[in-house]
Amino acid sequence: MKALTTLALVLVAAPLSAQQVVPGSLSPQTRGNVAAPSFSPVTNERLVNSDAEPQNWLHYSGNYYSQRYTQLDQINSENAGDLELQWAFQMTALDRAETTPLVVDGVMFITEAPSNVIAVDAATGEQYWRYNYPLGEELNYCCGRNNRGVAILGDRLFMSTLDAHLVAIDARTGTLLWDAEVASAANGYSKTAAPLVVGDKVVTGIAGGEFGIRGFVDAYDAETGERVWRFWTIPGPGHPDNATWAGDSWMTGGAGTWMTGAYDPDLNLVYWGTGNPGPDWNGDVRLGDNLYSSAVVALDADTGELAWHFQFTPHDVHDWDATQIPLLADTDFAGEERKLMLWPNRNAWFYALDRETGRFLMGRPYARQTWAEGLDEDGRPIRVPGTSPTIEGVTVSPSIGGGSNWWSPSYSPKSDLVYVMAYDGETTFFKRDDEYIPGERFTGGGGQTPEPQDTYYSALRAISPQSGETIWEYPVQPRSTAGVMTTAGDVVFSGTVDGYFFALDANTGEELWYINLGSRVHSGPMSYMVNGRQYVGVAAGSVYYTFALDD
Residues 197-209 have a mean pLDDT of 97
Distances (CA, A) of 511 to 319, 504, 539: 34, 5, 21
pLDDT at 95: 85
CB of 175 closer than 8 Å to CB of 26? yes
Give the list of residues 6+ apart from residue 378 with CB closer than 8 angstroms, or none.
Answer: 360
pTM, whole model, 2 decimals?
0.94
Q: What residue ranges define each of the domains in the chain, with the CATH number in brackets?
A: 9-549 (2.140.10.10)
Give the integer Cα–Cα distance in Å for 162 and 503.
Answer: 33
Residues 266-287 have a mean pLDDT of 97
Q: Is the backbone of residue 357 left (phi > 0), alpha (psi -120 to 50) or beta?
A: alpha
Q: Is the backbone of residue 269 left (phi > 0), alpha (psi -120 to 50) or beta?
A: beta
Exposed, middle or buried by CB within 10 Å (0-12, 13-18, 19+), for 62?
A: buried
Q: Is 319 a catalytic residue?
A: yes
CB of 179 closer than 8 Å to CB of 405? no
Exposed, middle or buried by CB within 10 Å (0-12, 13-18, 19+), for 267?
A: middle
pLDDT at 21: 40
Residue 354 has pLDDT above 60, yes or no: yes
Residues 387-402 have a mean pLDDT of 97
Residues 124-143 have a mean pLDDT of 90
20 confidence band (pLDDT: 50, 70, 90): very low
Residue 157 has pLDDT above 90, yes or no: yes
Question: What percentage of the chain carries pLDDT values higher than 90?
Answer: 88
Write phi, then psi, for 434 (nearest 5 degrees).
-115, 140
**Cis, peptide link before residue 23, omega less than 30° from 0:** no
Give the integer Cα–Cα distance in Å for 98 and 55.
Answer: 22
34 confidence band (pLDDT: 50, 70, 90): low
Residues 233-242 have a mean pLDDT of 97
Give the list of residues 6+ apart from residue 82 with CB closer than 8 angstroms, or none.
Answer: 2, 513, 549, 550
pLDDT at 222: 98
Residue 449 has pLDDT above 90, yes or no: no
**Average pLDDT over all residues of the chain:** 93
Q: Which of 163, 289, 316, 319 is catalytic?
A: 319
Residue 19 has pLDDT above 80, yes or no: no
Residue 303 has pLDDT above 50, yes or no: yes
DSSP character at residue 240? G
479 confidence band (pLDDT: 50, 70, 90): confident
Strand pairing class (176-181; 500-505): unpaired
Residue 452 has pLDDT above 50, yes or no: yes
DSSP character at residue 481? -
Of 5-19, 66-80, 180-194, 404-418, the poorest mean pLDDT is in 5-19
Residues 33-54 have a mean pLDDT of 92
Residue 9 has pLDDT above 50, yes or no: no
Residues 402-411 have a mean pLDDT of 97
Residue 14 has pLDDT above 90, yes or no: no
pLDDT at 143: 81
Residue 26 has pLDDT above 70, yes or no: no
154 confidence band (pLDDT: 50, 70, 90): very high
Residue 218 has pLDDT above 90, yes or no: yes
pLDDT at 36: 83
Residues 507-526 have a mean pLDDT of 97
B/e letters for 188-217, b = 16+ CB within 10 Å, e = fewer, are bbbbbbbbbbbbebbbbbbbbbbbbbbbbb
Q: Higher model confidence: residue 257 or residue 27?
A: 257
Q: Higher model confidence: residue 477 or residue 206?
A: 206
> What is the spatial order of strands in the sheet that 262-264 belongs to?
262-264, 269-273, 295-300, 306-311
pLDDT at 29: 55
Residues 523-551 have pLDDT tens digits of 999 999 999 999 999 999 999 999 999 87
DSSP character at residue 250? G
DSSP character at residue 391? S
16: helix, strand or coil: coil
Residues 99-108 have a mean pLDDT of 98
pLDDT at 90: 96
Residue 111 has pLDDT above 70, yes or no: yes
Strand pairing class (410-412; 417-424): antiparallel
